[in-house]
């Protein structure tokens, strides 16, 4: 799906009250309709419906940062995939490292959440994988990623509904990134791994890089072969820098620079 690329998604994490997310949405909308690529934002649950409504018709994807694995039930404080879809959001991030490592989410749990999101009809699942710093230093990166692909991604998923975000844990929010060569070799490996794992055409799956992507390093990172886009945390809260990342990857708006 070359027309969808680059896919640049902003994970707003636990940031934004109503007035902030409304303002951010307005700023993004003002860049004009997207003429190439896919831009997406992932606000906190409390802002999901408002942002989905504000960005309706803009072409900007709106998604949640997580969902529960069950369809409904006695899960105090949790949000199901159907509830996410009910807000007007069409996507969900699953297995973010802040949930895997901060909240102990396993590959099996991420897989169950993915199945639930597919059943609820969400159009796009962004499944995050990535090694910790000690795994990186131990040269375990590819083994960790293989295990996460195998365990977290349902093999029968429609490749068009999947985005895999490769996010080295040690690069998230730290200002550090792997070298160009390291990113290239990991993404090339993932391309092959997804082809082997998925029943559908795994080679067509979009693979994002995530971890300290900013406007300044986006031209290099998004220019690497097999990098189909970026999952962006901190810089996605700045609409100008976020748009810069998108255009650096070849994305375009009808009204550039507005
Ligand atoms: C993230 O949290 O997914 C992320 C990539 O964060 P940052 O861009 O701030 O490193």
pLDDT in tens, 68-97: 999 999 999 999 999 999 999 999 999 999
Task: Report yes or no on 26 lying in a domain.
Answer: yes
pLDDT in tens, 195-245: 999 999 999 999 999 999 999 999 999 999 999 999 999 999 999 999 999
pLDDT number for residue 86: 98
Catalytic residue check, 167: yes
Distance, CA 12 to ligand 1 centroid (Å)?
A: 9
Distance, CA 10 to ligand 1 centroid (Å)?
A: 8
Task: Report yes or no on 251 lying in a domain.
Answer: no
Distance, CA 157 to ligand 1 centroid (Å)?
A: 25
Q: Which residues form ligand 1's pocket by a CB distance below 6 Å? A: 11, 167, 172-173, 210-213, 231-235
Q: Which domain holds residue 45?
A: 7-230
Q: How sure is the predictor about 111, in pLDDT bands with cuts at 50, 70 and 90?
A: very high
Task: Report yes or no on 248 lying in a domain.
Answer: no
Task: Report yes or no on 114 lying in a domain.
Answer: yes
pLDDT number for residue 32: 86
Task: Report yes or no on 246 lying in a domain.
Answer: no
Atom of ligand 1 nearest to the CA of 165: 3
- Residue closest by Cα to atom 7 of ligand 1: 233
Among 68, 96, 98, 105, the active-site one is 96
Residue 157 DSSP SS3: coil
Helix axes 239-248, 18-30, angle to 10 degrees: 40
Q: Which of 101, 119, 127 is nearest to 208 (CA)?
A: 127
pLDDT in tens, 143-195: 999 999 999 999 999 999 999 999 999 999 999 999 999 999 999 999 999 99
- Which CATH number do you get for residue 171? 3.20.20.70
Among 98, 105, 131, 167, the active-site one is 167
Q: Residues with Cβ < 8 Å from 184, sequence gap 6 or more?
A: 224, 225, 226, 227
- Residue closest by Cα to atom 2 of ligand 1: 233
Q: Residues with Cβ < 8 Å from 53, sequence gap 6 or more?
A: 88
- Residue closest by Cα to atom 1 of ligand 1: 233
Q: Residues with Cβ < 8 Å from 235, sequence gap 6 or more?
A: 10, 213, 214, 215, 241, 242, 245
Catalytic residue check, 96: yes
- Reading the block at residue 244, the tokens are 């810069």
Cβ(121)–Cβ(87) below 8 Å: no
Q: How sure is the predictor about 258, in pLDDT bands with cuts at 50, 70 and 90?
A: very low
The strand pair at 162-166 and 124-129 is best described as parallel
Task: Report yes or no on 242 lying in a domain.
Answer: no
- Residue closest by Cα to atom 6 of ligand 1: 233
pLDDT number for residue 64: 98
Mutate to test the pocket of ligand 1, among 100, 126, 173, 237 (most ligand atoms within 8 A of CB): 173
Q: Residues with Cβ < 8 Å from 105, sequence gap 6 or more?
A: 95, 99
- Residue closest by Cα to atom 8 of ligand 1: 233
Q: What is the value of pTM for the model shown? A: 0.97
Q: How sure is the predictor about 2, in pLDDT bands with cuts at 50, 70 and 90?
A: very low
**Number of residues written out for the chain:** 258
Task: Report yes or no on 190 lying in a domain.
Answer: yes
pLDDT number for residue 19: 97
**How many domains does the chain contain in total?**
1
Cβ(64)–Cβ(79) below 8 Å: yes
Task: Report yes or no on 217 lying in a domain.
Answer: yes
């Amino acid at each position: 799906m070359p027309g969808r690329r680059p896919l640049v998604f902003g994970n707003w994490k636990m940031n934004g009250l109503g007035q902030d997310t409304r303002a951010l949405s307005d700023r993004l909308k003002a860049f004009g309709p997207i003429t190439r690529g896919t831009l997406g934002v992932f606000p906190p649950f409390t802002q999901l419906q408002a942002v989905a409504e504000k960005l309706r018709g803009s072409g900007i994807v709106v998604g949640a940062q997580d969902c529960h694995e069950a369809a409904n039930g006695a899960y105090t404080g949790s949000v199901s995939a159907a509830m996410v879809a009910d807000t007007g959001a069409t996507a969900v991030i699953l297995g973010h490292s802040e949930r895997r490592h901060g909240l102990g989410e396993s590959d099996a749990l991420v897989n169950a959440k993915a199945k639930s999101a597919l059943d609820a009809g969400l159009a796009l699942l962004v499944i995050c994988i990535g090694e910790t710093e000690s795994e990186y230093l131990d040269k375990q990166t590819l083994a960790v990623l293989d295990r996460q692909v195998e365990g977290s991604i349902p093999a029968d998923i429609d490749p068009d509904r999947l985005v895999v975000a490769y996010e080295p844990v040690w690069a998230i929010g730290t200002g550090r990134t792997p070298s160009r060569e390291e990113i290239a070799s990991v993404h090339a490996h993932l391309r092959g791994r997804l082809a082997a794992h998925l029943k559908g055409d795994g080679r067509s799956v979009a693979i994002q890089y995530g971890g300290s992507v900013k406007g300044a390093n986006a031209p290099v990172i998004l220019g690497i072969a097999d990098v189909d886009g970026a999952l962006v945390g901190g810089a996605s809260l700045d609409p100008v820098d976020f748009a810069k990342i998108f255009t650096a990857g070849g994305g375009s708006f009808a009204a550039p620079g507005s």
